[in-house]
């Protein structure tokens, strides 16, 4: 087995781990929604979409065999994470300034019109307000945790990829 194959294998394992973490985060959100009764707002649902797309692209990237194809999917992962940073950042802002709330009426028809809201309404349909304060987890709101997760993906995926690829040279 060549060193490049071993190095790309490491990237594939990182991608599988990232995909599994994203699915676990969606599962945690569903648990909080179903069991704890925390209704998801439009921004929550958009963050779920970003996590789902990151997971899908990570798993597809992990199945790729060439460096170029893995890079394409790692790039798509980072793009989705940047979008997640934007949505989660706006959500955090909305929670700090509730008068700026996205409002259920503004984004709800758009988010509820997305395909997964019809296929899996329990997980992807709007049911709450963005400014609703839920109890923090380890001192941070869910929106803040989502922001941390997306920022970590934006930083770590390129960092780990570049470190791994430099070792190939």
pLDDT at site 166: 73
pTM of the complete model: 0.87
Residue 7: predicted pLDDT = 65
Residue 23 pLDDT? 96
Number of domains in the chain: 1
Q: Which domain holds residue 41?
A: 3-167
CATH number at residue 153: 1.20.1550.10
Give the pLDDT score at 130: 76
**Is the Cβ–Cβ distance between 79 and 127 less than 8 Å?**
no
pLDDT at residue number 26: 94
- Distances 138 to 135, 141, 142, 144 between C-alpha atoms, Å: 10, 8, 10, 11
Query: What does pLDDT average to in each consecutive run of 10 residues of the chain (169 residues)?
Result: 65 93 94 87 92 97 89 95 96 81 66 83 80 81 92 92 71
The CA distance from 59 to 78, in Å, is 14
């Amino acid at each position: 087995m060549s060193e490049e194959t071993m190095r790309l294998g490491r990237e594939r394992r990182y991608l599988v781990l990232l995909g599994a973490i994203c699915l676990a985060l969606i599962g945690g959100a569903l648990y909080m929604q179903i069991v704890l009764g925390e209704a998801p707002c439009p921004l929550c649902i958009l963050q779920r979409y970003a996590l789902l797309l990151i997971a899908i692209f990570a798993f597809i990237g992990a199945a790729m065999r060439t460096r170029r194809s893995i890079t394409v999917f790692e790039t798509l992962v980072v793009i989705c994470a940047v979008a997640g940073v934007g949505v989660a950042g706006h959500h955090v802002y909305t929670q700090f300034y509730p008068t700026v709330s996205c409002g259920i009426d503004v984004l709800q028809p758009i988010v509820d019109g997305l395909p997964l809201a019809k296929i899996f309404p329990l997980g992807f349909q709007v049911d709450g307000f963005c400014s609703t304060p839920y109890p923090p987890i380890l001192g941070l709101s869910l929106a803040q945790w989502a922001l941390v997760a997306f920022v970590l993906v934006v930083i770590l995926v390129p960092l780990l990829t570049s470190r791994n690829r430099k070792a190939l040279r």
